[in-house]
């Protein structure tokens, strides 16, 4: 397999791929030979290239899957090349070119797709809980997802894709949940030391919810996600407070590339690894 993109997400992903007994990275592709990501890969004995997508395309016949950890704009260009070569892509950008995949919700139906979209970090963390709200109701009028991540964990590609982040997260919420209106809020917090990624999912108190069903569903979903994202946990279980019903979760990272506050990296890289491992298992 190959990874395109040597920023924060690409580096964290590389370290998780290296720790997987089912995956092997044969190419870590970026644009600057002196980038910290390339230096990291070379220090671990991973083949690197500054040739980006062109270098990956040249060795397409030897690659089982490509992880795209670039940007939404670059992902479009990369897919235009890889699609015709028949190379499967696991897309960690908010480009939404392929089928949405949230492993806790639809892993099995994504294993044979040529292009799988990992939504966004907020989507991986919060959409499953949004689905719990949806399942505990007859359909929702309004649902809100507010995600707060440490500034140090949000790289330039993510900052450039804020609009795509909000659109893609909202689109995934509509696809996986019965909700008329979904709103996504992203807060990039500059606090020092960095704060652990937090996500609050809320609906108006006027929504017709079965609170006991919601509690059971959230508990089950937490365990399901925690099986592939070890730092995922519910910190505020379903509670009615004032004019809304809310759940808050946080994701603490493993500290592979950035400190443990960078759960926004782990939640999407762990999910992407779960898809790749599922594909590898399915081929056996």
The alpha-carbon radius of gyration of the chain (Å, integer) is 18
Which tokens go with 180? 């008329």
3-state secondary structure of 209: strand
Greatest extent of the chain over all pairs of C-alpha atoms, in Å? 58
Which is catalytic among the residues 121, 132, 177, 270?
121
Q: Cα–Cα distance between 180 and 132 in angstroms, integer?
A: 16
* CB-facing half-sphere around the CA of 259: CA atoms within 13 A: 11
Query: Distance between CA atoms of 232 and 241, rounded to whole angstroms?
Result: 23
Task: Note whether 200 and 247 are within 8 A (CB).
Answer: yes
Of 120, 229, 108, 128, the closest CA to residue 177 belongs to 128
- Known catalytic residue: 25? no
Q: How does 56-91 read in b/e, with b if 16+ C-beta sit within 10 Å?
A: bbeeeeebebbbbbbbbebbeebbeebeeeebbbbb
Q: Which residues are catalytic?
A: 121
């Amino acid at each position: 397999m190959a990874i395109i993109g040597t920023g924060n997400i690409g580096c964290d992903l590389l370290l998780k791929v290296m720790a997987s007994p089912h995956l092997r990275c044969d190419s870590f592709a970026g644009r600057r030979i002196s980038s910290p990501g390339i230096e990291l890969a070379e220090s671990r004995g991973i083949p690197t290239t500054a040739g980006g997508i062109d270098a990956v395309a040249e060795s397409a016949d030897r690659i089982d899957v490509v992880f795209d950890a670039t940007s939404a704009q670059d992902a479009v260009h990369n897919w235009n090349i890889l699609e015709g070569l028949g190379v499967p892509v696991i897309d960690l950008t908010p480009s939404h070119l392929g089928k949405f995949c949230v492993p806790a919700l639809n892993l099995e139906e994504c294993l044979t797709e040529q292009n799988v979209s990992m939504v966004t970090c907020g989507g991986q963390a919060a959409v499953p809980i949004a689905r719990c709200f949806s399942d505990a109701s007859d359909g929702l009028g309004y649902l809100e997802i507010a995600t707060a991540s440490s500034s140090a964990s949000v790289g330039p590609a993510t900052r450039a894709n804020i609009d795509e982040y909000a659109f893609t997260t909202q689109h995934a919420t509509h696809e996986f949940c019965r909700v008329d209106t979904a709103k996504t809020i992203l807060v990039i917090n500059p606090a020092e030391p960095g704060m652990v990624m937090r996500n609050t999912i809320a609906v108006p108190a006027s929504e017709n919810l079965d609170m006991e069903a919601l509690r059971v569903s959230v508990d089950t979903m937490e365990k399901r996600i925690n099986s592939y994202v070890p730092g995922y946990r519910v910190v505020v279980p379903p509670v009615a407070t004032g004019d809304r019903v809310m759940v808050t979760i946080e994701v603490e990272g493993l500290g592979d590339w950035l400190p443990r506050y960078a759960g926004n990296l782990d939640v999407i890289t762990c999910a992407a690894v779960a898809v790749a491992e599922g594909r590898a298992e399915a081929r056996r």
